[in-house]
Amino acid sequence: MPIAALADPFLELSTPAGVPVHLHRTTAFKTVLLQWVAECPLDDGVSARALLPDLLTRATRRLPSLSAVAARCEELYATELLSGASGFGDRQLVRFGFETVADRYAGRPLFRDAVELLADVLHDPPLAGGAFRQDHLEQERGNLVHAIEAIEDDKHLLAYRRMLEAMHAGTPFARHPWGTVAEAQALSEPTVRAAWEHLTRRAPARLFVVGDVSEELALWAVERLAGGRHASAAGPVVPPGPVARPPQELRDVQPLAQSKLAIGYRLPRARLPGSAASLLGLVLGGDSFSRLFKRVREAESLAYGCSAAVSVESATLVVQAGIDADKAPRVRELVQEELASLARDGVRADELSLARRALLRRLSDLRDSPRAMCAFRHAALLAGRPHELAAAEAAVRAATAEEIAALAAEARLDTTFLLEGKAA
């Protein structure tokens, strides 16, 4: 059956708790994946919420240690507990969940047992006098501080973050979903406890389930996990609009062998709903067939690597390159030239075909991974884009060279950040 003819495999169910369920009932996998995802603003509370995934999964009242939790997971056929905090546009996404063996292979109601374990993780931590244990809180606070500090160790990511923070300064789009070192260090027990109570009982949330699970069982899982009446989701992310200031160039110097260049362009909101934005990123710098790879790396040998990608949720085109610092002006010049060429002369048929094929292959590969399917669906819902894979693939096929050229023509240079390498 052609991919475009496939119906949406997910069934959407509403619940009294206000938590929508996205259920993909299938026997294609030997496991069942469940993800509970709370959606929160990227505000001053991000660090407290970012602490919760590790704090809550380390112990429950009935399983008061990491080893006890691990032993219980082993009893449940090596069930894997999942948790983490990430960002999407102006939202912080806090995930809890599990992946376990499907009941038909376990020969027992394993899904129910795993839901009960996750319910304990979310709602029954080992409180002491109504408060989180001080030793647990101090350890996880220290771990969060170290994780935020470790961003400095990934220079490619660091350059990207510095560029993004400058480009979207003063808006939630500039914030990291874990917060800052100072915010993490300042976390107190009452602040973390308040974040836990709101997150698990009231914050907007969605439940994703992929595997051989009935509607009735999925709705029971929501009832066990909700803990209260949750607020409705805020709707799709609204990307930031244009700014009046001229393009800015920033730099920092650190002792590293290779300089990192990050260039941010603002894209018009009106042209983002289709697939032209994703295809623009691929044509410009998404693979070895891309313009920047061929010209910046191969033709002029200016960069060890040069890539481009579009973040639809923030209406941002980002170009990144690992270079010698003195090559930065020429690389910026070439990026501008290639964007102008795309806008003026359009996309060649061969490069559009390659970009379209690459994007369709990525979408098709999502079907092999329950986690990838859920991540795609959630991101598409948050971005206000087609969240059915078949519809997304149809949009890729329908995108035209003219749409990509028009988008390139409206890309506006905003921020250039150079993390300049200097001998130690």
pLDDT digits (tens, 9 = 90+) for 246-268: 999 999 999 888 999 999 999 99
Identity of residue 172: P
Mean pLDDT value across the chain: 94
Q: What is the pLDDT of residue 222?
A: 97
Query: Which is it for strands 248-254 and 412-421: parallel, antiparallel or unpaired?
Result: parallel
8 φψ region: left (φ > 0), alpha (ψ -120 to 50), beta (else): beta
Q: What is the pLDDT of residue 84?
A: 98
Residue 159 has pLDDT above 80, yes or no: yes
Average pLDDT of the residues in 355-381: 96
Q: What is the pLDDT of residue 179?
A: 97
Average pLDDT of the residues in 275-304: 91
Q: What is the pLDDT of residue 257?
A: 86
Residue 15 has pLDDT above 60, yes or no: yes
User: CB of 303 within 8 A of CB of 297?
Assistant: yes
The closest of 234, 202, 230 to 21, measured between CA atoms, is 230
pLDDT digits (tens, 9 = 90+) for 181-227: 999 999 999 999 999 999 999 999 999 999 999 999 999 999 999 99
Q: What is the pLDDT of residue 77?
A: 97
Greater confidence, 304 or 264? 264
Q: What is the pLDDT of residue 8?
A: 85
C-alpha–C-alpha distance, residues 98 and 117, integer Å? 9
- H runs (alpha helix) in 43-180: 46-57, 66-75, 103-106, 110-123, 134-149, 155-167
Residue appearing with tokens 């350059």: 159
The closest of 340, 338, 247 to 285, measured between CA atoms, is 338
C-alpha–C-alpha distance, residues 323 and 182, integer Å? 32
User: CB of 194 within 8 A of CB of 111?
Assistant: no
Q: What is the pLDDT of residue 423?
A: 63
Give, for 207, the enclosing helix (H) or strand (E). Answer: strand 205-211
**DSSP per position, 149-178:** HGGGG-HHHHHHHHHHHHHTTTSGGGS-TT
Q: What is the DSSP letter of 108?
A: S
Residue 357 has pLDDT above 90, yes or no: yes
Residue 1 has pLDDT above 50, yes or no: no
C-alpha–C-alpha distance, residues 16 and 27, integer Å? 28
Residue 130 has pLDDT above 50, yes or no: yes
C-alpha–C-alpha distance, residues 111 and 232, integer Å? 27
Average pLDDT of the residues in 344-364: 95
- Radius of gyration, CA atoms only, the chain: 23
Beta bridge partners of 416: 249, 263
Q: Domains of the chain by range and CATH?
A: 8-226 (3.30.830.10), 248-421 (3.30.830.10)
Residue positions counted in the chain: 424
Identity of residue 10: F
CA atoms within 13 A on the CB side of 244: 0
Q: What is the pLDDT of residue 273?
A: 77
Q: Please report, to the nearest 10 degrees, the dihedral formed by the alpha carbons of residues 385, 169, 42, 418 taken in order.
A: 80
Greater confidence, 114 or 300? 114
Average pLDDT of the residues in 43-50: 97
C-alpha–C-alpha distance, residues 304 and 421, integer Å? 14
Residue 5 has pLDDT above 80, yes or no: no
Residue 4 has pLDDT above 80, yes or no: no
Residue 70 has pLDDT above 80, yes or no: yes
Average pLDDT of the residues in 65-71: 97
Q: What is the DSSP letter of 395?
A: H
125: tokens are 């931590």
Q: What percent of the chain has a predicted confidence (pLDDT) above 70? A: 98
Q: What is the pTM of this model?
A: 0.94
